């Protein structure tokens, strides 16, 4: 009889440990890394095909892009999106060296946790001005006209830079988070 009790006790402890391990695994929170996702969507609601055809922008044609910010940070985030214009030689920003380009537009959004926010970015190149061997653009962004102070050689690409900044309460200001870029040429 002692041997049977010992057998059932071992069997009971074995199944109890399996059950406890499964219960722990099922109820434990998964490790996660907080993040903000940032993307530029074309008129076709894709992360590509920004212009048709290819990368050529047609003068006085409006392009309707969407700037999407996804929040998985654990709290509501207050973000700022800057759009800047660069050329083929412009170096992109990084965490220690931000772009020193002329901001073309600036918008702020609240993004709820585990949600996303979309900012319209409707733009058109309305004029190309040649000066000292460089082309300069006049761009209409969301109804506001902006003239670039950075030129490029005729036929060379321009680049839109989009910087995402998050609000930090300790120094009470925005801090740099990440950036995106899209290159294009202008058909005149």
Q: CATH number of the domain that 73 lies in?
A: 2.60.40.10
**Distance (Å, whole) CA 188 – CA 173:** 41
Same domain, 26 and 107: no
Give yes or no for a contact between 35 and 163, defined as CB atoms under 8 angstroms apart. Answer: no
What is the pTM assigned to this prediction?
A: 0.81
Q: Determine the pLDDT at residue 43.
A: 83
Same domain, 115 and 152: yes
**Distance (Å, whole) CA 174 – CA 103:** 15
Q: Determine the pLDDT at residue 54.
A: 60
Same domain, 146 and 113: yes
Same domain, 142 and 163: yes
Q: State phi, psi for 93 to the nearest 5 degrees.
A: -75, 165
Give yes or no for a contact between 137 and 127, defined as CB atoms under 8 angstroms apart. Answer: yes
Same domain, 13 and 59: no
Other C-beta atoms closer than 10 Å to the C-beta of 185 total: 18
SS3 (DSSP) at 89? coil
**DSSP labels, 101-134:** SPEEEEEEEEE-TTEEEEEEEEEEEEEEEEETTE
Q: Is the pLDDT of residue 53 over 60?
A: no
Q: Determine the pLDDT at residue 78.
A: 97
Residues in the chain: 188
Question: Which two three-digit tokens encode residue 71?
Answer: 């929040």
Question: Which two three-digit tokens encode residue 82?
Answer: 């800057």
**Distance (Å, whole) CA 180 – CA 163:** 7
Same domain, 82 and 169: yes
Question: Which two three-digit tokens encode residue 29?
Answer: 């929170």
**Distance (Å, whole) CA 164 – CA 73:** 14
Q: Is the pLDDT of residue 3 over 90?
A: no
Q: Determine the pLDDT at residue 14.
A: 82
Q: How confident is the prediction for the chain on average, in pLDDT?
A: 89
The boundaries of the domain holding residue 13 are 1-31
Same domain, 13 and 42: no
Please write the tens of the pLDDT for every residue from 74-128.
999 999 999 999 998 888 777 666 667 888 999 999 999 999 999 999 999 999 9
Q: Determine the pLDDT at residue 90.
A: 86
Question: Which two three-digit tokens encode residue 181?
Answer: 């870029």
Number of domains comprising the chain: 2
């Amino acid at each position: 009889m002692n041997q049977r009790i010992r057998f059932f006790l071992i069997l009971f402890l074995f199944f109890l440990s399996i059950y406890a391990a499964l219960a722990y695994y099922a109820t434990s929170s998964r490790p996660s890394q907080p993040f903000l996702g940032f993307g530029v969507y074309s008129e076709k609601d894709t992360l590509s095909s920004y212009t048709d055809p290819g990368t050529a922008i047609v003068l006085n044609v409006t392009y309707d892009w969407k700037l999407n910010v996804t929040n998985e940070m654990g709290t509501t985030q207050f973000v700022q999106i800057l759009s800047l214009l660069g050329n083929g030689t412009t170096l992109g920003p990084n965490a220690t060296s931000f772009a020193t380009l002329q901001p073309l537009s600036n918008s702020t959004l609240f993004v709820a946790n585990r949600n996303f926010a979309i900012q319209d970015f409707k733009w058109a190149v309305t004029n190309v001005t040649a000066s000292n061997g460089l082309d300069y653009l006049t761009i209409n962004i969301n109804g506001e006209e902006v003239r670039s102070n950075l030129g490029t050689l005729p036929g060379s690409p321009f680049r839109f830079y989009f910087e995402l900044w998050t609000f930090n309460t300790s120094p009470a200001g925005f801090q740099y988070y990440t950036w995106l870029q899209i290159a294009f040429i202008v058909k005149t």
